[in-house]
Amino acid sequence: MRMSKLAPLICRTQRQAHALFSSFQIAMASSLVMCTLQMRGRGSLVKCLQNVDKLLLRGIGTNVVSAQAEATRKEETDEKVGHRSFYAVQVERQEQAERSVLISCPFRVNEKRFHKYLLNHGDINKFFFYESHSVYAVVEFASRESVTSLLEAVAIPIVSDESVVPFKSRLLSLRNLGAVESPNQPVKQCQPQTTIPINELIQRLSKEESIDQQINSLTEAYQLTEENSRLRFLVCSLLKDIAAAYFPECTIKPFGSSVNGFGKLGCDLDMFLDLGGISGYSVKRPKSGLSLEYGMKRANSERAVTQSILSVIGECVEQFGAGCVGVQKILNARCPLVRFAHQPSGFQCDLTSNNRVAMKSTELLYLYGELDPRVRYLVFTVRCWARTHGITSSIPGAWITNFSLTLMVLFFLQRRSPPIIPTLDYLRDLAGPADKNVIEGNDCTFVSDFSKIQVESNKETLEQLLFEFFEFYATFPFSRMSINIRKGKEQNKPERTPLHIQNPFETSLNVSKNVNSTQLERFVALCQESSWLFQQSETNTRRCNGTPIPWGLATLLLPSQVAGIKSRRKRKREPATERIKSLLESLKNKKLAT
Amino acid sequence: MRMSKLAPLICRTQRQAHALFSSFQIAMASSLVMCTLQMRGRGSLVKCLQNVDKLLLRGIGTNVVSAQAEATRKEETDEKVGHRSFYAVQVERQEQAERSVLISCPFRVNEKRFHKYLLNHGDINKFFFYESHSVYAVVEFASRESVTSLLEAVAIPIVSDESVVPFKSRLLSLRNLGAVESPNQPVKQCQPQTTIPINELIQRLSKEESIDQQINSLTEAYQLTEENSRLRFLVCSLLKDIAAAYFPECTIKPFGSSVNGFGKLGCDLDMFLDLGGISGYSVKRPKSGLSLEYGMKRANSERAVTQSILSVIGECVEQFGAGCVGVQKILNARCPLVRFAHQPSGFQCDLTSNNRVAMKSTELLYLYGELDPRVRYLVFTVRCWARTHGITSSIPGAWITNFSLTLMVLFFLQRRSPPIIPTLDYLRDLAGPADKNVIEGNDCTFVSDFSKIQVESNKETLEQLLFEFFEFYATFPFSRMSINIRKGKEQNKPERTPLHIQNPFETSLNVSKNVNSTQLERFVALCQESSWLFQQSETNTRRCNGTPIPWGLATLLLPSQVAGIKSRRKRKREPATERIKSLLESLKNKKLAT
């Protein structure tokens, strides 16, 4: 495992060693274009690559600047997170969340005093700030008893001219009475909870020295941080408290982007109410004689039960949930859900129930992401590229979804020679008895033990892979063939929809049934354009005038000018080819002038 | 206290001794009228009066036939219930309910086996059956641990072609697998949960030997039984479990008829969600430095908070509550409420919150009812009389309410000479510091300690009082005067509504604002008719022909023929005067024939 993760790094290191000993740092500041040429020494490159190395070893790269340094032991545990099974990580995160509270803070509060105040209730494992409308602190105690102790000292707010719904949760509010904090009080270091704007990203990428580094940089800027991940589990835990009032044995688990390894900062929080742990199903019934059953409300179907439960939870979130706004009970959807915005975390939340196939899909994606780090890098890059060009969208429609796009990347990686990741059928064949999992007639079995999986030693760089990805789908026979990660081979299409991607578990379903031919054509055309730009980019010299000039991956994120590919968003930005042309022109003129 | 309770009995005994040594048992069976004269001996009268005596001593008469005999000590406690404060009784009942479960049973189950089965989980204080759609058992364990132990052995039902909402409560269902119970298995003795039909009541009253006995008999047939009272608290406790999921410190208390001593079997169950016990309001806040508050949802008013809370509880009752049907959230009413029918108990339930004045009114009525047993007898009689003639109704409208009617009886009893019950101002003046109670600016203070209250020795019989009641209101100057139990004297009307009865605590309100002049006129005319019938009844000889002929109070419950007094219900029954006329005629003819 460890070797296979290092492979692309070694490969990239070699490539970078002979190609990239110098770099241009280019920044564009408003209309003023200033160029400063800065030759980077060998030492700084080595340091840079060491960082990448560390990032790759971690599996999940994080830009943690914890307000409270964690114990070294703890750090070491996190270091190993990447090598642990999906469920082990989930359980640990859930436990952390149960021991945590979320506290809204005044903007200027003395961090040390606050920390000392909290320590009265027990040891603290983790303590960080972030900003979302207001400043919030996440405090993870070492034990749940500390939370109980803390809550005993918490008052119900008394507000003039208003009333409060006296529903108690672990969402608290810090008051700082009397003493005025010094105006020199440093503003707390806040953890970012959203991605940087696309233009800032393009600038950042333009400064990188290789396309591989650009891909790393993009992933690092976009992926969930350690803190954001904890916050997601904490929101689930707060919601679990609401559901557990009626179903004490329930759990609420995040699924999808929040935990599959491909989540972007700011992505929606999809949650799954799991009632599977309810006792009483397994109570022994005597074959004869008296026995007791609960007097329970009957419903026509499991779906109706789910609707009932979500209706109550939705009502509670709406009526009692501080900072929960825009609550919608979408109970007649194929998969009934409660949607709301959780202001304290800034998450758009979807709560579903009885959605276990989605949970298995999440686990599968996580597994693929962990098998080889290139999987995550490529998925992040392709997703960012697609979103920038309006191939995907946050609103539902005829576009390709992130899930479809991820399956396309996985399929592409299965089709490399040698393959970078194995097929789902292979993973199923490796499964042990404990992995057996059939959900509503769908075989969702696959191996959970990473050590059983043999990965072939493909040495392609990220740059190569990204280019090949565009080439692959620019020429894919979409009209005849179906994408199938279970087999890892194109299959004949069973139906006439423009794009056919087999659902990995519900194999009779097409994941991209919604996609119309226009959207597919846009995707193909954009792949063609990107592949072409990629080739152009190879020959680009990256000059500077104080501001970095977009190159490589950055170029691919500039607005497209391909005929018929109109991005639905960000039309204001200049077309890429136009902008590149004018930049090249200005550089040429500058060169001539000097 | 004890003497004042015995007074009317002694009085009645004397009266009965010289007037009622014989009685007619008259029954009307379809068109056939058979008369059998049955002379009751002195012995049976003494026994009958002893029963009445016992009933009076108990304060609350019950016709308990417990399936499981209670320990003698327990009986003695109940014997004293009548002498205990309202709150002491409430708390005891609530505690009993918390230790109880409600079990739906097969129609024929071996009671001993069932009892033995339950004993595995601990000692049982009370165990009785009743019928409501199906047969149910109420089981009160000696300790709450027994309930916990029992629930651990309870299974979640597995039903074919249906699903269940896995919400666990103390409503259970007994299964008897395999073994078939003997068809000779006696049907369990079930406790009545509804009043007998009016015709049956009339027959029963007609058999009694005095009007006082008739009044006793009516009260005994109509008042809540010990079991029904326990069932009411149990339903509150089951609902409390739902509310306590979110507000652990809350209580749900019955108020109104269920606990004021004037409740009729089958009356609605009014419940009050009390959030007053929520901790966190009293948490000490430092004058300076850091402190924490709960992050709670704000609302514009206490009313909005109540609406939020009731909305969630209503949703939960609707979605999860087995046997809870017809759930209505009536949140925009003056006093927001959730209404539903609880099938397992047969109760129509109204849940309100933040309704503390109603709770004090309940306590006041309870206190008046306990001060002198004639209060309850008279209220029961007048309420039954009013309902029979459609003066009151179960649906809202321009009619007099039971509460208004009760205040009218209380006022009448305050106006006797000497008064049978004291004024509310007197009760307020006796109040100790602990009784002080101001709710939303309304002084709801009155004494809770019965021993402080001096009652004057009025010796009037129930018969006298009932007659005087009709006389009193047949001639009351409704157009000018207001009824006021606080002062115990007529007051000038502050407004021009036909009927003015001052709200005892919210003194600016008129309890009977809804009553229109037609309804008031019907009431007055009926009082006049009843007073006249009463006088006629004195001279009636009660002959028989196997079936008792209605007399005395029974006559008052027959349909009225007073001009303009059309009962909205039961029009099918023959008019009273007509019926009486024909009966007298037939008796006259029979007398002539013999």
Chain B CB contacts of A342 below 8 Å: none
- Distance to chain B for A148, nearest Cα, Å: 13
Q: Does B168 touch chain A (CB under 8 A)?
A: yes
Which of the four pLDDT bands, split at 50, 70 and 90, describes residue A176? Answer: confident
- Going by DSSP bridges, is the β-strand pair B163-164/B32-38 parallel, antiparallel, or unpaired? unpaired
Q: What are B585's two structure tokens?
A: 């005629």
Whether A449 contacts chain B with CB within 8 A? no
When pLDDT is averaged across residues A527-553 and rounded to a whole number, the result is 75
pLDDT at A3: 38
Three state DSSP letters for B358-386: HHHHHHHHHHHHHHCHHHHHHHHHHHHHH
- The Cα A59–Cα A51 span in angstroms is 13
Which residues in chain B have Cβ-Cβ distances shorter than 8 Å to A168?
Answer: 280, 294, 296
Contact B156 A311 (CB under 8 A): no
A254 cis-preceded (ω within 30 degrees of 0): no
pLDDT at B31: 26
Contact A244, A250 (CB under 8 A): yes
**Is B432 part of any domain?**
no
Residue of A121, A167, A281, A285 to mutate for B, most B C-beta atoms under 10 A: A167
Q: How far is B396 from chain A (nearest CA, A)?
A: 30
> Averaged over A31-48, what is the pLDDT?
32
Question: In this structure, are B107 and B185 located in the same domain?
Answer: yes
Q: What is the DSSP letter of B17?
A: H
> In this predicted structure, what is the pLDDT of residue A580?
52
Residue B135 lies in a domain: yes
The answer on B122 and B45 residing in a single domain is no
- Residues A121, A170 within the same domain: yes
Whether residue B48 is found in the same domain as residue B108: no
Q: pTM of the entire structure?
A: 0.78
Residue B283 touches chain A, beta carbons under 8 Å: yes
Q: Are residues A48 and A116 in the same domain?
A: no
Whether residue B117 lies within 8 A of chain A, CB to CB, comes out as yes
Picking from A209, A244, A195, A275, the residue whose alpha carbon sits closest to that of residue A38 is A209
Average pLDDT along chain A = 80
Structural domain contains residue B53 = yes
| pLDDT of A545 | 62
A126 and A187: one domain?
yes
What residues of chain A lie within 8 A of the CB of B171, using their CB?
A: 294-295
Q: Is B294–A171 a contact, with Cβ atoms under 8 angstroms apart?
A: yes
Query: In this structure, which long-range contacts are made by residues A113-119, counting pairs with CB atoms below 8 Å and at least 24 apart in sequence?
Result: A113/B289, A113/B290, A114/A174, A114/B290, A115/A68, A117/B289, A117/B290, A118/A150
- Stronger pLDDT, A115 or B535, i.e. the higher one: A115
pLDDT tens, residue by residue, A135-152:
999 999 999 999 999 999
Q: At what angle do helices A373-388 and A211-222 cross, to 10 degrees?
A: 80
What are the pLDDT digits (tens) for A365-406? 999 999 999 999 999 999 999 999 999 988 888 999 999 999
Which of A444, A368, A363, A450 lies closest to A412, judged by CA? Answer: A368
Nearest alpha carbon to residue B254 among B531, B10, B238: B238
Residue A13 has pLDDT above 50, yes or no: no
Residue spans of chain B under pLDDT 50:
1-82, 539, 541, 563-575, 579, 583, 586-587, 589-594
Report if residue B68 sits inside a domain: no
User: Is the same domain home to B53 and B133?
Assistant: no
CB distance B472 to B536 below 8 Å? no
Number of domains in chain B: 2
pLDDT at B504: 95
Structural domain boundaries enclosing A27: 3-58
CB pairs under 8 A between A and B: 264
pLDDT at A546: 65
Q: Indicate whether A564 pLDDT > 50.
A: no
Tokens matching residue A40: 């980077």
Examine the pLDDT at A593 and tell me if it is beyond 80: no
Residue A545 and residue A590 in contact, taking contact as beta carbons nearer than 8 Å = yes
For residue A298, the chain B residue with the least C-alpha distance is B164
**CATH code, domain with B124:** 3.30.70.330
- State whether residue A114 sits within 8 Å of chain B by CB: yes
* CB proximity A386 to B under 8 Å: no
Q: Are A512 and A400 in contact (CB under 8 A)?
A: yes
Asked, for residue A441, whether it belongs to a domain, the answer is: no
My answer on whether A109 and A53 are in the same domain is no
The answer to whether B295 contacts chain A (CB < 8 Å) is: yes
Domain co-membership, A135 together with A187: yes
Single out the residue of B78, B88, B82, B84 nearest to residue B375, CA to CA: B82
Please tell me which of the candidates B155, B172, B291 has its beta carbon nearest to residue A177: B291
Arithmetic mean of pLDDT, A10-26? 33
The answer for A 388-417 residues in CB contact with B (under 8 A) is: none
Distance CA A204, CA B294 (A): 41
Residues B111 and B50 occupy one common structural domain: no
Is A135 contained in some domain? yes
Place of tokens 């039903």: B159
- Percentage of chain A with pLDDT > 70? 77
Judged by a CB distance cut-off of 8 A, whether residue A278 touches chain B is yes
- Co-location of B179 and B130 in the same domain: yes
Question: What tens digit of pLDDT does each residue of A255-287 get?
Answer: 999 999 999 999 999 999 998 777 777 777 777
B247 touching chain A per CB within 8 A? yes
Does the residue B129 lie in any domain? yes
Tell me which chain A residues have a C-beta less than 8 angstroms from the C-beta of B241. Answer: none
Q: Is B294 on the interface with A (CB under 8 A)?
A: yes
Residue A293 has pLDDT above 90, yes or no: yes
Per the domain annotation, does B299 fall within a domain? no
DSSP for B95-147? HHHHTEEEEEE-SS--HHHHHHHHHTT--EEEEEEEEESEEEEEEEESSHHHH
> Which chain A residues have a beta carbon less than 8 Å from that of B301?
163
Least-confidence region, from A99-103, A412-416, B27-31, B472-476: B27-31
Of A164, A169, A177, the CB nearest to B299: A164
Query: Which member of A171, A298, A315 has the closest CB to residue B315?
Result: A315
